[in-house]
Structure 1
Amino acid sequence: MEQMRLTFVNVGYGEAMVLECPDPSRQNGVFVMVIDGGGNDPAEFADCASGRVPMAEYLSGRGLDHIDVMVCTHIHEDHLSGLLPLLEHWTPGELWQTLPADFFRRMRPLEIPDDANLSRRKFLQALNDYQTLCALVETRGGVIRAVAAPLDGVLCSGLSGRVLAPSASQAEELAVLLDGVYAAEDAEFWSRLDRLDARMNNFSLVLRLDFRGTGVLLPGDTNCLGYGDIPAEALQADLFKVGHHGQRDGVSAQQLRAIAPRAVVCCASSDRRYNSADPGVLTMAAEGGARLYFSDCPPVPGAAEPLPPHHALEFTIGPGGVVEGRYLPL
């Protein structure tokens, strides 16, 4: 039986995934989905001792020849901005995101002041990069697709996907909030920008995949407060990528019980920036019976040995709950 491959690329503090699923109807017999691209700040990759690598560089080294679907889970620099360099090499057949397909035309380039704090600079950059990404995809012939819950369907042979969040009303709320940011001036602009930045994680696209009976749950940066409208029975998955980089609010004990994962991936940086890879969250997942994996190399509670430096974490996923992970060495 053929297997699907899901790879978490080591982009430091950020998230970047590539899914490859056998399907004879697709180019070269493989369906390819890229889910987020990490950041695009060179400083993130200045220290590559743990194996950090930009998404575009990693995919080029893998010899990737096409992208069927590119997914932008939400507008934050550490998820979105690394998708832009991919457009220099590949044009996706579809770009999945949660706003109206033509929303980028209502946006304008925003100035990034030199004296803006880091959080504001990164969010402004993400907004500008989102507009550029959508414009480039459309110009080059790709289709921009707005996705919201409830939406499910077959992605390719043996693989189905279900969008669990945001709902259509949440997507509409995000569009209204963004319109408000672009319409505001002076102090009101910064106030609205900061409020939206603080809320953006829980507008993340939450995607559940099923490959021949093996479930994968990818919640973007959704934290434990963002699961409210998702039925508990829809969360069960064999492989779970914990939300918000494994920070303390990434998932609750009740949610972990509903997911009941056999493997948990945490996309935290090796320096545990912003208190990612929270020891309490990791311990809770391990005590629930899940094996822990990491896209980068943060310290792991109770581990006898440090994680090996690696460019990526690769899973082979087969039918009936088969999930096998391995770190790809430098």
Structure 2
Amino acid sequence: RPVPRQGRRRADPFDVGEEVVSPYLWHRGIRRVEVIVVTHLHEDHAAGVPALIDNFRPREVWSAFAEDTPLWRSIHSAARRAGARIRVLKQGDECSLGGLPCRVLAPARGQPWSGRPQNNDSLVLELRHGRHTFLLTGDIEAPVEARLAEEGLLAPVQVLKVPHHGSRRSATEWLLERTRPAVALISSGEGNSYGLPHPETVERLRAAHALVLRTDEDGLVTVRSDGRYLEVDRGGGSALLRRFFDWQ
């Protein structure tokens, strides 16, 4: 079954969970997902989640907020149908993904709901596997990056999911000086109208000596870790790029 390339323009209505993510997971032979993480309640991050819950029946759904918005009601209904537990996570919470330790860095405990979804509502997770650390950042921007740096919550990582699709106000020096990522992954749609990722952000990442991979140019990017070796493929696992990292 062909795997759709992320970022192609399609006419509405279009459900990315049903028409892109689910077919890709089925293509990989995946029939069940234990946990689905909702970074925040913007449509480009969460609109496909109800279909994924219906199709893969997770044990848990994680979110930073559970506010009464139309999208959250749809997610909540799907979770109820699947019998999935909803966990609302905040800074300082610790959890497990596939047996791997996971630490919640944001949002701050007590951070108020603004009345509508915001980029800085995003759930930020630090995931460890052996010698490798992954930082998953949602759409956070400079204010949250600065707070995490000032509070001493950032540490060196091997893989950074670049915040907010590589926007100009993300991946600031506060973040990069403390995380020093070996690999920086940018999720951005091909030909997107926002001009993301921003050239200044890409340059900052390269100046920090990160290997920069972006879905608008590289297509599917896959990262595999056995706890010691890190393998990074682009182009659906083709031979276009394959790099191995070994941290002694």
Give the CA deviation at 1:11: 3.4
Residue 141 of structure 2 is aligned with which of 195, 200, 223?
223
Whole-angstrom distance in 2 between the partners of 1:229 and 1:254: 9
Deviates more, 1:270-279 or 1:319-328: 319-328
From the two aligned structures, give the one with the greater helix fraction: 1
Q: 1:281 to 1:143 in 2, by over 3 A?
A: same
Give the CA deviation at 1:66: 0.7
| Corresponding residue for residue 315 of structure 1 | 223
* Structure 2 contact 146–174 (Cα < 8 Å) conserved: no
Give the CA deviation at 1:224: 1.6
| Corresponding residue for residue 295 of structure 1 | 215
* Structure 1 contact 233–258 (Cα < 8 Å) conserved: no
Give the CA deviation at 1:205: 0.2
SS at match of 1:271: coil
| Corresponding residue for residue 281 of structure 1 | 201
Whole-angstrom distance in 2 between the partners of 1:135 and 1:156: 25
- Structure 1 residue 252 and structure 2 residue 172: aligned? yes
Q: TM-score, normalised by structure 1?
A: 0.63
SS at match of 1:296: helix
| Counterpart code for 2:34 | D
Q: Alignment identity in percent? A: 24
What per-residue deviation string (whole Å, max 9, x for no partner) do you get for residues 159-182 of structure 1? 210110002211xx11xx33xxxx
| Corresponding residue for residue 25 of structure 1 | none
When Rg is computed on C-alpha atoms for both structures, the one with the higher figure is 1
Give the CA deviation at 1:86: 1.6
* Structure 1 contact 96–145 (Cα < 8 Å) conserved: yes
| Corresponding residue for residue 243 of structure 2 | none
What per-residue deviation string (whole Å, max 9, x for no partner) do you get for residues 25-77 of structure 1? xxxxxxxxxxxxxx9955698xxxxxxx6112212222211111110010000
Structure 1: state its 5+ residue gaps. Answer: 1-8, 14-38, 46-52, 108-126, 179-195, 298-306
* Structure 1 contact 12–44 (Cα < 8 Å) conserved: no
* Structure 1 contact 262–290 (Cα < 8 Å) conserved: yes
- Structure 1 residue 135 and structure 2 residue 135: aligned? no
Structure 2: state its 5+ residue gaps. Answer: 239-248
| Counterpart code for 1:59 | L
The alignment of Structure 1 onto Structure 2 pairs a total of residues equal to 230
| Corresponding residue for residue 131 of structure 2 | 213
- Structure 1 residue 88 and structure 2 residue 6: aligned? no
| Corresponding residue for residue 22 of structure 1 | none
* Structure 2 contact 186–215 (Cα < 8 Å) conserved: yes
Higher RCO (CA-CA < 8 Å; seq separation 6+): 1
- Structure 1 residue 62 and structure 2 residue 28: aligned? yes
- Structure 1 residue 203 and structure 2 residue 121: aligned? yes
Whole-angstrom distance in 1 between the partners of 2:124 and 2:161: 11
Q: TM-score, normalised by structure 2?
A: 0.83
| Counterpart code for 2:90 | A
Whole-angstrom distance in 1 between the partners of 2:70 and 2:155: 33
| Corresponding residue for residue 167 of structure 1 | 108
What RMSD in Å do the two structures reach over aligned CA positions? 2.6
Give the CA deviation at 1:210: 0.5
Whole-angstrom distance in 2 between the partners of 1:148 and 1:296: 31
